[in-house]
Structure 1
Amino acid sequence: MISETAYAKINLALHVRRRREDGYHELETLFAFVDAGDELTAVPAEADRLSTRGEFAAKIDDPFGNIVAKALTALPHGRGWAVDLEKRLPVAAGLGGGSADAGAVFRMVERAHGLPEDWHARAARLGADVPACVLSRPCIGTGTGTELAEVAENDLQHCPVLLVNPRLPLPTGPVFAAWDGQDRGAMPQGTLREIALSGRNDLEAPAIAICPAIADVLAALRDTGPFLARMSGSGATCFALYESQEALSRAAATLAADHADWWQLSGKLR
Structure 2
Amino acid sequence: METKAFREFAPAKINLCLHVTGQRADGYHLLDSLVVFARDAGDWINVEPGDNLSLTVTGPRGAGLSAGDDNLVLRAARRFASPKGARITLEKHLPTASGIGGGSSDAAATLRALSRLWAMPLPEVADVLKLGADVPVCLNPSALRMQGVGEGLTAVNLPPVWAVLANPGVAIPTPQVFAKLTQKANAPLPDTLPPLPDAAALAQFLAATRNDLQAPAIALAPVIAEALQALAAQPKALIARMSGSGATCFGLFPDPSAATAAAKQLSQSHPDWWIAPTLLAPPSLV
Equivalent residue number for residue 121 of structure 2: 115
**1:33 lines up with 2:43 in the alignment:** no
Q: Which amino acid aligns with 2:21?
A: R
Q: Deviations over 1:123-150 (max 9, x none)?
A: 1010000000011111111111222112
What code does the residue aligned with 1:88 have?
Answer: H
Which residue in 1 is equivalent to 2:172? 170
Correspondence 1:85 to 2:90: yes
Give how far 1:111 is off. Answer: 2.9
Residue 77 of structure 1 deviates from its aligned partner by 7.2
- Per-residue CA distance 1:153-195 (angstroms, 9 max, x = gap): 222x2x2111110111000001011112154422133146265
Aligned partners of 2:219 and 2:83: how far apart in 1?
47
- 2:272 maps to a residue whose letter is D
Structure 2: state its 5+ residue gaps: 197-201, 282-286
Aligned CA distance change for structure 1 residues 124 and 90 (closer, same or farther; 3 Å): same
Give the structure 2 partner of residue 17 of structure 1: 21
TM-score (norm: length of structure 1): 0.93
Report what 2:188 is aligned to. Answer: 186
Aligned to 1:253: 264
Deviation string 1:176-217 (CA, Å, 9 cap, x unpaired) is 111121544221331462653432101000100000000000
8 Å CA contact 1:19–1:181 kept in 2: the answer is no
* SS of equivalent residue, structure 2 residue 189: coil
Corresponding residue to 1:48 among 32, 39, 53: 53
CA deviation map 1:64-100 (0-9, x unaligned)? 3100001111125763110111110111100111100
Q: Decide which moves more: 203-212 or 175-184.
A: 175-184
Give, in angstroms, the shift of residue 18 of structure 1: 2.0
What amino acid is aligned across from residue 123 of structure 1 in structure 2? V
1:182–1:48 Cα change, 3 Å: closer
Which residues of 2 match residues 1-270 of structure 1 at below 5 A?
1-35=5-39, 36-75=41-80, 79-112=84-117, 113-116=119-122, 118-151=123-156, 153-155=157-159, 157=160, 159-181=161-183, 183-188=185-190, 189-190=192-193, 191=195, 193=202, 195-224=205-234, 225-270=236-281
> Which of 138-147 and 7-16 deviates more?
138-147
CA deviations 1:3-59 (Å, max 9, x no partner) are 011010010010011232211211111111101200111111111110001222124
Q: Answer yes or no: is the 8 Å Cα contact 1:187–1:195 preserved in 2.
A: no
- Percent sequence identity is 39
Distance in 2, matches of 1:253 and 1:43, equals 38
Q: Evaluate the alpha carbon distance shift between residue 182 and residue 41 of structure 1 in structure 2; reply closer, same or farther with a 3 A threshold.
A: closer
Contact 1:106 1:115 in 2 (8 A): no
Structure with the bigger percentage of helix: 1
Q: C-alpha displacement at 1:114, in angstroms?
A: 3.8
- Work out the CA distance in 2 between the residues paired with 1:122 and 1:184: 28
Kindly indicate whether the alpha-carbon contact (under 8 Å) linking 1:59 and 1:91 is maintained by their aligned counterparts in 2.
no
Instruction: Determine the C-alpha separation between the residues in 2 that align with 1:131 and 1:80.
Output: 23
Equivalent pair of 1:17/1:184 in contact (CA under 8 Å): yes
Q: Distance in 2 between matches of 1:111 and 1:199?
A: 38
Residues of 1 paired with 2:185 and 2:277: CA distance? 33
Q: Does the Cα contact within 8 Å between 1:109 and 1:115 map onto a contact in 2?
A: no
CA–CA separation in structure 2 for the residues paired with 1:195 and 1:62: 41
**Count of aligned positions:** 266
Q: Secondary structure at the match of 1:65?
A: coil
The normalised TM-score by structure 2 is 0.88
CA distance in 2: counterparts of 1:266 and 1:76, whole angstroms:
39
Q: How well do the aligned residues superpose, as a CA RMSD in angstroms?
A: 1.7
- Give how far 1:226 is off: 1.5
- Is the 1:14–1:30 contact (alpha carbons within 8 Å) kept by the matching residues of 2? yes
Partner-residue secondary structure (3-state), 2:93: coil
Unaligned stretches of 5+ in structure 1? none
Gap change, CA 1:33 and 1:268, over 3 Å in 2: same
Q: 2:284 is matched with which residue?
A: none
Q: Answer yes or no: is the 8 Å Cα contact 1:52–1:63 preserved in 2.
A: no
